[in-house]
């Protein structure tokens, strides 16, 4: 059993996990860097330990310091949130070797899905469709060109260790492929310490549709239906919704079956997300994220299931509280509110001088900011998530406009005006989405 959870993260997700722990009656320990002393997750946890200076490498990514914080405070479990150490199999192993409960999937499952080329091979063996591409890392430019000949252009090069949209390069012909091959390898090496790249067919205007799964340690895997995350900038999601306008009951069943197969293939437990691209009636496995995701609340809104609470139950060895896929009720949309310029997208850290959070029917805000809080420049710019829920998509959109219009964040620039513009776009209103949606807001940078 678990009694005290250390949250190896910061900001809104740390606050979200503290909330689930409180409901579960568990004590909480937060960790923080020197610049995060005044963060809400520090105030809300029962205890907090400063684990190092601002630089993530010296604090939130410092495994020794995180483990020491758990030992000093007598925590018996660690929840990694998303980002930082969440998908680090080595860290998960150390947590377990130290006799602590890891609130996440088995380290081997993280490793199997963390290598994207390996993940492709694993799910293919289970009959899950993938885009045509290379199943092994590419040895050379010539190798890349030979593989691309076989599948046809355009192609996309991806880092096998990839994540966060880094290390990806599109090529439209052999000449371009040769040009970008070294850049992609170099970028992958720099970002992930591993320069291996593979390639697959590039779809020019697909939808990004993903399936939430939960699996317990008793062999039960439940798929929770889809989220559509096609509204992205530089491969980073901005707006997510559930259900997707493109998915009917039959397609949902097929995608949920594929996601369940993918999870079962690696002996998955805990919460995870199987990401697909969807184009022209077909869906293709892209990768599995072996953690709770930023956009998990839209699934919570339409299913009524607390996914983080389920993670705690699963880690404690309890069975899933849901036996089969829950019905999705109404429509939910999440807007990522970043402290950045809504036109140029330049980060806008600084002090929050004024704050009024929207509320009322169908509105949820997950955030760590408060009036007087100073957003440090050291981490990502997500400051709040607005999640709206309505009986149907039209109602969800009306609630989104109302809530964004009543959302006051003073002192820094935010993406709220951008979201209000997105809501006015006929393609958004009609649900005509693809990963190219944001190109209409492109700026010269
Ligand atoms: P990361 O792990 O870096 O986030 P993903 O593999 O999840 O990378 O891809 C992120 C995004 O990149 C997708 O949501 C999609 O917009 C785009 N993308 C990835 N692969 C392809 C592809 N084969 N064709 C078209 N777009 C792609």
On whether the CB atoms of residues 296 and 212 are closer than 8 A, the answer is yes
Task: Tell me how far apart the alpha carbons of residues 34 and 415 are, in angstroms, rounded to a whole number.
Answer: 27
Residue 169 catalytic?
no
Q: In angstroms, what is the span from residue 35 Cα to ligand 1's centroid? A: 33
Tell me how far the alpha carbon of residue 235 lies from the centroid of ligand 1, in angstroms. 6
Between the alpha carbon of residue 419 and those of residues 95, 218, 234, the distances in Å are 40, 42, 16
Same domain, 377 and 330: yes
Q: Output the pLDDT for position 445.
A: 47
Which of 208, 237, 282 has most ligand 1 atoms within 8 Å of its beta carbon, as the pocket-test mutant?
Answer: 208
Residue 259 sits in the same domain as residue 291: yes
DSSP SS3 for 371: coil
Structural domain contains residue 140:
yes
Domain identity same for 33 and 148: no
109 falls within a domain = no
CATH number at residue 177: 3.30.1490.20
Same domain? 196 vs 247: no
Within 8 A by CB and 6+ apart from 121, the residues are 135
Q: With CA atoms as reference, report the closest residue to 112 among 359, 290, 329.
A: 290
Find the 369 Cα to ligand 1 centroid distance in Å: 30
Query: Which of 383, 339, 392 has its CA nearest to residue 362?
Result: 392
Tens digit of each residue's pLDDT, the chain (445 residues): 899 999 999 999 999 999 999 999 999 999 999 999 999 999 999 999 999 999 999 999 999 999 999 999 999 999 999 999 999 999 999 999 999 999 999 999 999 999 999 999 999 999 999 999 998 899 999 999 999 999 999 999 999 988 877 889 999 999 999 999 999 999 999 989 999 999 999 999 999 999 999 999 999 999 999 999 999 998 899 999 999 999 999 999 999 999 999 999 999 999 999 999 999 999 999 999 999 999 999 999 999 999 999 999 999 999 999 999 999 999 999 999 999 998 899 999 999 999 999 999 999 999 999 999 999 999 999 999 999 999 999 999 999 999 999 999 999 999 999 999 999 999 999 999 999 999 998 765 4
Q: Which of 194, 435, 437 to mutate to test the pocket of ligand 1 (most atoms within 8 A of CB)?
A: 435
Number of structural domains in the chain: 3
Q: Which atom of ligand 1 is nearest to the CA of 229?
A: 14
Q: Give the DSSP letter of residue 330.
A: S
Rounded Cα distance between 313 and 320, Å, is 7
User: Domain range holding 175?
Assistant: 132-201
User: Do 306 and 429 have their domain in common?
Assistant: yes
CB 64 within 8 A of CB 71: no
By alpha-carbon position, which residue is closest to atom 19 of ligand 1? 286
Cα(230) to ligand 1 centroid in Å equals: 10
**CATH number of domain containing 432:** 3.30.470.20
The residue annotated as part of the active site, out of 291, 336, 364, 413, is 291
Task: Tell which atom from ligand 1 comes closest to the C-alpha of 133.
Answer: 23
Q: How far is CA 234 from CA 169, 191, 410, in A?
A: 11, 16, 27
User: Which of helix, strand or coil describes residue 32?
Assistant: strand
Structure tokens at 404: 């964004």
212 and 357 together in one domain: yes
């Amino acid at each position: 059993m678990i009694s005290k959870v250390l949250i190896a993260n910061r900001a809104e997700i740390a606050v979200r996990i503290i909330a689930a722990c409180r409901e579960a009656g568990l004590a909480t320990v937060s960790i923080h860097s020197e610049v995060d002393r005044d963060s809400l997750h520090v105030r809300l946890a029962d205890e907090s330990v400063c684990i190092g200076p601002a630089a993530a490498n010296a604090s939130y990514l410092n495994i020794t310091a995180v483990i020491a914080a758990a030992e000093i405070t007598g925590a018996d479990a660690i929840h990694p949130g998303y980002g930082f150490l969440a998908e680090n199999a080595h860290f998960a192993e150390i947590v377990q070797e130290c006799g602590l409960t890891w609130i996440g999937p088995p380290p081997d499952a993280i490793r199997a899905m963390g290598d994207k080329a390996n993940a492709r091979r694993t799910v293919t063996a289970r009959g899950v469709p993938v885009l045509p591409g290379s199943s092994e890392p590419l040895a050379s430019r010539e190798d890349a060109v030979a593989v691309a000949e076989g599948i046809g252009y355009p192609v996309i090069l991806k880092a096998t260790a990839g994540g966060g949209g880094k290390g990806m390069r599109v090529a439209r012909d052999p000449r371009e492929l040769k040009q970008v091959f070294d850049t992609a390898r170099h970028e992958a090496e720099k970002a992930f310490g591993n320069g291996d790249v593979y390639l697959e067919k590039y779809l020019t205007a697909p939808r990004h549709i993903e399936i939430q799964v939960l699996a317990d340690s008793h062999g039960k895997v439940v798929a929770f239906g889809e989220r559509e995350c096609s509204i992205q900038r530089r491969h980073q999601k901005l707006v997510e919704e559930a259900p997707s306008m493109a998915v009917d009951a039959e397609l949902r069943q097929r995608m949920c079956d594929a996601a369940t197969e993918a999870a079962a293939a690696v002996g998955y437990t805990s919460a995870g997300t199987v990401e697909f691209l969807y184009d022209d009636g077909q869906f293709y496995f892209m990768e599995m994220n072996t953690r709770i995701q930023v956009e998990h609340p839209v699934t919570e809104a339409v299913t009524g299931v607390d996914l983080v609470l389920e993670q705690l139950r699963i880690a404690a060895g309890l069975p899933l509280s849901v036996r089969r896929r829950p019905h999705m009720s109404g429509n939910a949309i999440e807007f990522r509110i970043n402290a950045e310029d809504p036109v140029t997208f330049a980060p806008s850290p600084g002090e929050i001088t004024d704050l009024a959070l929207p509320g009322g029917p169908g509105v949820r805000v997950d955030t760590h900011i408060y009036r007087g809080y100073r957003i440090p420049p050291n981490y990502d710019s997500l400051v709040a998530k607005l999640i709206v829920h309505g009986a149907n998509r039209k109602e969800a959109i009306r609630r989104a406009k109302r809530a964004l219009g009543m959302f006051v964040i003073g002192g820094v620039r935010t993406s709220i005006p951008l979201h209000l513009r997105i809501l006015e776009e006929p393609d958004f209103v009609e649900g005509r989405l693809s990963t190219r949606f944001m190109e209409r807001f492109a700026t010269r940078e």
